[in-house]
Every structure is written in structure tokens, then in C-alpha cells.
A and B are shown apart, each in its own frame.
Chain A
Amino acid sequence: MIPIDRFLVLSTILFSLVMYGVLARRSAVLILMSVELMLQAVSINFIAFAVYLSPQRFTGMIFAIFVITIAAAEVGLALAIILRMYRNRATANVDEADTMKW
């Protein structure tokens, strides 16, 4: 069996990379994609732990399924809100959403 630390290293690298993506991207759509990838890093963690910790119980697997489901719901909702902003302003860049400060 592949040692568990490989999976953890993979998920940590993925999580850190896309966290940079969230902080550095300007477009709201790309930020959203980065957030979704963060959730996939979480799923990798859960599945790896589920297999290595307690093969008889499925807590981690079920958690991963719910994470995927909620991530899908989140995309639908977030795209609707981003679209609304795009309709009203003709831009989806977060740095141009600056009517309110301090």
C-alpha cells in the first residue's frame, strides 16, 4: 500500500497552491474555482484518512461525498451572484468591486 504521507503531502501542496490562487486572482470566477480546488484537497484528506484509519467505517468517505455535493451547490449559488454583479457592472473582477471601503 502507498504510505499515507504521500496523500497528505499531495493534499497539502494542492491546498497551499489554490490558497495562493484565492488570494492572488482578480476574477471572481477564478477565485471560485480555486475555492473548489481547496475543497478537493479536503476530500483527498478525508478519503485517505478513511482508508488508513478505519477501513470498516465510512465516516471519512461519507464526509467526502457531502463535501462534493455542497461544493456543487456552492458553485451554482456563487455563479448566480457573480452573474448578477456582471450584469450590473460589466465586470467580474473583485478589485473593481470597491464602492464600499472602510
Chain B
Amino acid sequence: MTGTLHLNWWLLAPEYILCAYAALLVLIDLFSNRAQKEMLGYVAAGGCALSAAVSLIWVDDKKDFANLIDVDNYTTLFRVFFAGIGFFACIASARYVKDRLLHAGEYYALILLAVVGANGMAAARELLTAYISLELLSFSLYVLTSYAKFDLRSNEGGLKYMLLGAFSSAIFLYGVSLVYGATGSTEFAAIGDKLAGGTGGIREGLFLGLSLMIAGLGFKVAAVPFHMWTPDAYEGAPLPVTAYISAISKSAGFALFLKLFTESFLPLIDDWRYFIAALSAATMALGNFVAIQQHNIKRLLAYSSIGQVGYLLMGIAALSPAAGSALVLHMVGYAATNLAAFVCIIIFYNWTGKEEIKDFAGLAERAPFLALSLSIALFSLAGMPLFAGFATKFILFQSAADQGLLWLAGVAVFFSFVSLYYYLIVIKEMYLEKPDEARRFPIPWREYAAVAVLIGAVFLVGLYPRPVYDLVESSTNVVFQQAPGGQQAAAQR
């Protein structure tokens, strides 16, 4: 560490924009009447779009803020990605929040602040910044989960999420303190350099610390056996919040996971690889098997998202430049697909107020576009060819097999088949069952447009993944170049 700090505040402009919009939204909310609340959602979406556009200034740049925050391709990719998730979450929320929730201004402000936290997690280059960003994201999500004040399920989901989240943060922090004690630094790069020079004399403390950190991060991304909060938080939270949590909390968790483990713990990969691989296999198994017996669509998608975390953990277990890119690509494809599925369910819920799988009976007759989009999204989650899920899973499984984890790739393929079963149950309800009433749904244009864009992204990644993959690769390469030993050590693996 040098004596000079590069306090270039301008580098944080996308985050300033999000914070300014968050403050602005609370103010607008004060001065608007009930009919205007829907506009707040579109204002918030505009804030996300502006933040994403501004972050594009630093494409192919490589700067850092005071040795705390990296601004490089990795950061830029995730800034755009998280702002995109926020954008679609705001659009999907607009009508729901107006009809069913109080305090719209604070709701959107919290969504934007969660994006700031997620950006920080992807951009952090030392553990304190990463921890503060993690808590900013988590705190926003705790409040959003319990946002339906008078709904018992929302209270309960929020309570469980908050208590387990705080518990897991404490475990993560204890791990951080031990790693700090063992290596003498909280900077990712300094930890990595220290570990590359051998772990003599600090092994016990270091491995206890590393295990606790994996447990803490495992809570955040919902890996088995740390997944217990997920189904309850998903079911309890208001629907758009469920969509938002499912996309952003996992992506941000994995952004940090990937960066931290590449830059700091790559020298020890032989020690933790099988630990993570075992977590991955257990996560896939539990998520996919328990999903089969669900009858609530939110809970079904909660367990399916746990299954997806299992696939994503493969990318960490097989940590290499190819696996890192594959991991981020699968994450992008998964987020787009999952958001598409959730926006469809939100549109359905806005009209019917129901969320059981059997309520979807005959949807194909009442709203053909909605049924088709939801089917595409579910097929993509299951990993059917043509859609994003197939291409990204194929690349991810291949990169895992290249690293000697062929057995894990086999397990993953098996559980992809299992998952097809429960997705097909929903599709069967929509296409083969008779609807209770034949009345057609009215068409909400803005939400339909959002679904169309997301489905377009699903097809783009599914049919022509090359440009997206190149983009992702150029950003993950930045991280692997900063790994101890740089590009060569990473390439040898």
C-alpha cells in the first residue's frame, strides 16, 4: 500500500446517481397523490437506466478509488447488470406497489440503494468495503421483504431473513477477522500474495477463517445447508421483491464470491475445491428434489433458484478463467430468465391475486402471450435447447468437466432433468387444464414490453451467446489477471 490515495470521487458517479434518485423518489412521493404513485416506478427505472449509461464511461478502463474500489471492466459489467435488474424490478413493481403497498417512495428508494450495495460488492477490492456493501444490500432487502406491513407472511419472512442474515454476517465477519489475523491484510491482492508465498504457521487459523467465510457467503447466496431462509423469505415477500431478491442477492453474492476467491484464495484451491464441490452437489440435490412437491409458485421458484445456486457453485469449484466466465454468463442468463418468469407471474397476480400453481389452469386461453412467455422462461430454467439455460449450462458444465469435475457435471445434468419435471407441471396447468372462467385478461402494455425484452434476451443468449460471452470474458479476465501469479498461473490450471 502506498501513501497516496487516489480520491477520484468522479469514479463513483453511477452510485451517486442512484442515491440522488433514491432521495428524489422519497421527496416526489411526499408531494404526489395516490393516482400518481405508479409514475414513481418509472422514475426509479429511469434512475437505473441513467446509472447504467454513466457507468459505460469506464469501459476498458482500469482505475481504483483510494485502494478500496476497483473501476474496471468487471465493475462496469456488474454495474450495468445490477442496474438492469433494478430497472426491470421497478417496471414490474409499478402497478403492484400502487395497488397493494403503502409508502411507494421508500420502496423504490430501497430498491435503488440495494443496487448501490450490489455494485459495491462487485467493485470492492478489500474486505471492509465488501462487508459494508454486503450489509447495505442485505438491509435494504430485509426491509423490502417485510414491506407488506399487515401481511403476516411478510412479517414472518422478513423476520426469518433478517435474523438468519445477521447471524450469517456475524459468522462471515469472524472468518474475516481470522483471515486478517493470519495474513495481516484485508486487501484481496495482499492476501493473495501472502498465501502464494506459503501458508506455513498460519494454516489452522486460516482454514477456520476460510470455512467461516464460505459459510457466511453460502448464506447470502442460499447454498445448502445454509438455505433455510430462502423459501420463507421468497414466499413472504411481496412478489416484485421476490423477483428482485432472486436476481440481485444471488448475483451480487456470486460477484463477490468469484472476485474474492480468485484474487485471494486461488493459491489454496486444492484445499477448498472439494468442499465447494460437495456444497454444490448437495445444493442441486435438495433444491431440485424439494421443488417437486411445492404447490405455491413463489416457493417453487425459491427451490428452483436454490438448485440454480448449485450449478453456479460449480463455477467456483472449478475456478479457472473459463469457469469464471461461464459462471458469470450463467448468472446473466439465469437473472434474465428468472426475471421474465417473475414479471409474468406478477402480471398474473395483479389481475387475480392468486399465486398457487393450480390457479394457473387454462392461462393459455385467457392470456396466450403470458402463458407462452412463462413457458419459455420455465423451459430456459430447465435448460432446454434454444433458450439461454441450455447454452449457459452447457458452457458451465463443460468448463467444470475440464477442471476434473466430470462427476459434478454429471450430477448437474441429472438434476437438470429432474427440474424439467416440476417446470412441466406448471406448463401442463397452463396449457392442458380448463380455466375457471373464460374471460380474457386485459393487456398491460408496459409490463408486456418488459417481458418481451427479457424473452428476447433469453433467446439471444440461447441462440447466439458469442457476443455476450466475449463481453463477460473481457470482464472476468481483469479479475484473473489480478490473481496471484497473474494470467500465467491461472492459464496453467
Q: Which of B70-78, B99-107, B180-188 contacts A (4 or more CB under 8 A)?
A: B180-188
Q: Is B369 an interface residue (CB 8 A)?
A: no
Whether A73 contacts B139 by the Cβ 8 Å rule is: yes
Task: Report A35-70 CB contacts with B as 1/0, cut-off 8 Å.
Answer: 100110110011011000110000110110011001
Report the Cα distance A22→B164, complex, angstroms.
9
User: Which residues does B use to contact A, with CB under 8 Å?
Assistant: 127-128, 131-132, 135, 139, 142-143, 146, 149-150, 152-153, 155-160, 162-163, 166-167, 170-171, 173-174, 176-178, 180-181, 184-186, 231-232, 235-236, 290, 293
Q: Which 3 A-B pairs have the closest CB atoms?
A: A38-B170, A45-B177, A49-B181
Q: Is A84 an interface residue (CB 8 A)?
A: yes
When distances are taken between beta carbons in the complex, the residues of chain A under 8 Å from B232 are: 100
A90 to chain B, nearest CB (A): 12
Question: Known: A31-B163, A38-B174, A97-B160. Is A88-B150 also a contact (CB below 8 A)?
Answer: yes
When distances are taken between beta carbons in the complex, the residues of chain A under 8 Å from B166 are: 32, 35, 74, 78
Report the Cα distance A94→B166, complex, angstroms.
15
Whether A94 contacts B181 by the Cβ 8 Å rule is: no
Q: Is A1 an interface residue (CB 8 A)?
A: no
Whether A97 contacts B156 by the Cβ 8 Å rule is: yes
Whether A54 contacts B184 by the Cβ 8 Å rule is: yes
Most buried by B among A32, A60, A70, A94: A70
Whether A100 contacts B156 by the Cβ 8 Å rule is: yes
Report the Cα distance A31→B173, complex, angstroms.
18
When distances are taken between beta carbons in the complex, the residues of chain B under 8 Å from A89 are: 152, 155
Question: Known: A42-B177, A88-B152. Is A66-B159 also a contact (CB below 8 A)?
Answer: no
Question: Known: A31-B163, A97-B156, A100-B235. Is A81-B180 also a contact (CB below 8 A)?
Answer: no
Whether A85 contacts B173 by the Cβ 8 Å rule is: no
Whether A99 contacts B167 by the Cβ 8 Å rule is: no
Nearest neighbor of B129 in chain A, beta-carbon distance: A66
Whether B177 contacts A66 by the Cβ 8 Å rule is: no
Seed contacts A22-B167, A35-B163, A100-B156; 19 additional CB < 8 Å A-B pairs: A31-B167, A32-B166, A35-B166, A49-B177, A53-B184, A54-B184, A59-B186, A60-B180, A62-B128, A63-B180, A66-B128, A66-B131, A67-B173, A77-B142, A77-B143, A77-B162, A94-B163, A97-B159, A99-B152
Q: Interface extent on A, as a size class?
A: 35 or more
When distances are taken between beta carbons in the complex, the residues of chain A under 8 Å from B171 are: 38
Whether A41 contacts B174 by the Cβ 8 Å rule is: yes
CB neighbors of B among A79-100 (8 A):
81-82, 84-85, 88-89, 94, 97, 99-100
Q: Give me 27 A-to-B residue pairs in the complex whose CB atoms sit less than 8 angstroms apart, sorted by A's number.
A: A31-B167, A32-B163, A32-B166, A35-B170, A38-B174, A42-B170, A42-B174, A45-B177, A45-B181, A46-B180, A59-B185, A59-B186, A60-B180, A62-B128, A74-B139, A77-B143, A81-B155, A81-B158, A84-B149, A88-B150, A89-B152, A89-B155, A94-B163, A99-B152, A100-B153, A102-B231, A102-B293
Report the Cα distance A42→B143, complex, angstroms.
25
Whether A85 contacts B159 by the Cβ 8 Å rule is: yes
Whether B178 contacts A45 by the Cβ 8 Å rule is: yes
A70 to chain B, nearest CB (A): 5
Nearest neighbor of A96 in chain B, beta-carbon distance: B156
When distances are taken between beta carbons in the complex, the residues of chain A under 8 Å from B131 are: 66, 70
Whether A39 contacts B155 by the Cβ 8 Å rule is: no
Whether B162 contacts A78 by the Cβ 8 Å rule is: yes
When distances are taken between beta carbons in the complex, the residues of chain B under 8 Å from A84 are: 146, 149, 155, 158
Report the Cα distance A81→B135, complex, angstroms.
16
Task: Report A17-32 CB contacts with B as 1/0, cut-off 8 Å.
Answer: 0000010000010011
B219 to chain A, nearest CB (A): 13
Report the Cα distance A68→B252, complex, angstroms.
24
Most buried by A among B150, B155, B231: B155
Question: Known: A46-B180, A59-B185, A77-B143. Is A99-B153 also a contact (CB below 8 A)?
Answer: yes
A89 to chain B, nearest CB (A): 7
Selected from B142, B184, B185, B186, the residue in CB contact (under 8 A) with A81 is B142
Report the Cα distance A49→B127, complex, angstroms.
15
When distances are taken between beta carbons in the complex, the residues of chain B under 8 Å from A78 are: 142, 162-163, 166
B76 to chain A, nearest CB (A): 26
Selected from B127, B143, B236, the residue in CB contact (under 8 A) with A100 is B236
Nearest neighbor of B135 in chain A, beta-carbon distance: A70
Selected from A22, A35, A67, A88, the residue in CB contact (under 8 A) with B155 is A88
When distances are taken between beta carbons in the complex, the residues of chain B under 8 Å from A62 are: 128
When distances are taken between beta carbons in the complex, the residues of chain A under 8 Å from B181 are: 8, 45, 48-49, 53
Report the Cα distance A41→B135, complex, angstroms.
18
When distances are taken between beta carbons in the complex, the residues of chain A under 8 Å from B167 are: 22, 31, 35, 38
Whether B231 contacts A85 by the Cβ 8 Å rule is: no
Whether B170 contacts A85 by the Cβ 8 Å rule is: no
When distances are taken between beta carbons in the complex, the residues of chain A under 8 Å from B128 are: 59, 62-63, 66
Nearest neighbor of A48 in chain B, beta-carbon distance: B181
When distances are taken between beta carbons in the complex, the residues of chain B under 8 Å from A97 are: 155-156, 159-160
When distances are taken between beta carbons in the complex, the residues of chain B under 8 Å from A67 are: 173
B471 to chain A, nearest CB (A): 34
When distances are taken between beta carbons in the complex, the residues of chain A under 8 Å from B162 are: 77-78, 81
Nearest neighbor of A39 in chain B, beta-carbon distance: B170
Report the Cα distance A92→B143, complex, angstroms.
17
Whether B186 contacts A63 by the Cβ 8 Å rule is: yes
A61 to chain B, nearest CB (A): 11
Selected from A32, A39, A49, A85, the residue in CB contact (under 8 A) with B180 is A49
